[in-house]
Structure 1
């Protein structure tokens, strides 16, 4: 993927994002690998993970010829954004909107998905070239927020992060979510160094998405 548009199209096709907060860079790599095996192909390695850039670099090498799209999350400044991009990140996610992060992402033609909780934040982000905003915290704002925003601002794509689970994912999808981020639900059953539970849970989310789409 060489352009912002190519990346966005693949992210939308993959739809599900695994938001990964590893205990170490190797732990994050294993969670990402298990998520991909279960069908979640957008991988967001958060910078709360120790040596997150090493995880991104390793994933880029290991999955370079696949449809996995690797990005960085919890990026709150332009320096971290550049480190992530140079390590191989194809998209950047923040818990907040940062004009300086948006600028660096535009410079490298990388999609920037800032966390926004108000229409003003979304409009400010759009003014810098943002095409997709992360609805955060999704569990507080709720799925109806997407329809409310799309009334006056239909040309912004919105992705919830936080508060998405198997029981409510259909509500998010049916309210127009461009994609959904899945975090702690993926890793809640990990025991020791066994990551098979991550694959199992990822598969459940993948199957649920297919079910929702077949009913629409």
Structure 2
């Protein structure tokens, strides 16, 4: 089994993605750790975070032998993708589709999850080997977008990022979401250097997921 396939299996099993946007490298590390402690195991460190590479390296050092899967988000070009991969990122996410990022990810057998907002973008991404497309912006496209795309293209897996809440996560899942990305909902209650609220919010999403799955 390829490295890419093993990673995709683990990402799907973990299901919830924490989209980490920190004020600093250390802030992002603490948010990531708190989210993991709350049960979210897919950690996407965005490159809007100052020192994102350091965050990835530190997470790999501390959690590399656990079921945490560490990746990089907001990757806008192939150079940044390669830097993230060499730092230890196991998957790459971008807000748009980039053929050059897809190529570098294929070279390193790393999953690439590009943001796509239309069937044309999804088809173009698939032509380069993309297996999972990020539905972005999810809050605008809505859960019905997944069901509509799966009509003509049932073999592409789709993951919303943005617009996922405790209240609508069941709707995304019912419409066929491969996984879901959660961002500001995790960090909205942070108070100074206390990251307890991140763990609490992550646990709420984890508990909600288990509740939804138990009914299916």
Provide Cα deviations, 1:132-182, integer angstroms capped at 9, x if missing partner: 000000000000000000000001000000000101000001110000000
Shift, 1:57, TM fit: 0.4
Q: Could you tell me which residue of structure 1 aligns to residue 151 of structure 2? A: 151
Hey, what's the Cα distance between the residues in 2 that align with 1:80 and 1:40? 25
Q: Secondary structure at the match of 2:43?
A: strand
Match of 2:123 in 1: 123
- Give unpaired runs (5+ residues) of structure 1: none
Q: Which residue of 2 aligns with 1:213?
A: 213
Quote the residue 2:188 is aligned against. Answer: 188
TM-score, normalising length: structure 1: 0.99
CA distance in 1, matches of 2:17, 2:102: 20
Q: CA deviation at 1:2?
A: 6.6
Listed as ranges, the matches of 1:1-216 within 5 Å are 3-216=3-216
Instruction: Encode CA deviations 1:178-199: one digit per residue, 9 max, x unaligned.
Output: 0000000000000000000000
Shift of residue 65 of structure 1?
A: 1.1
Cα deviation, residue 122, structure 1: 0.1
Counterpart CA distance in 2 for 1:30 and 1:51 is: 13
The alignment partner of 2:120 has SS state of helix
Q: Structure 1 residue runs of 4+, over 4 Å off?
A: none
Give, in whole Å, the separation in 2 of the partners of 1:55 and 1:2: 26
Where 2:194 maps in the other structure, the secondary structure is coil
CA distance in 2, matches of 1:2, 1:200: 35
Paired residues in the alignment total 216
Paired residue secondary structure (1:114):
strand
Distance in 2, Cα, partners of 1:115 & 1:153: 17
Gaps of 5+ in 2: none
SS at match of 2:36: helix
SS of equivalent residue, structure 1 residue 6: helix
Shift of residue 64 of structure 1?
Answer: 1.2
Cα deviations by residue, 1:54-108 (Å, 9 ceiling, x for unpaired) = 0000000000110000000000100000000000000000000000000000000
- CA 95–168 in structure 1, closer or farther in 2 if over 3 Å, else same: same
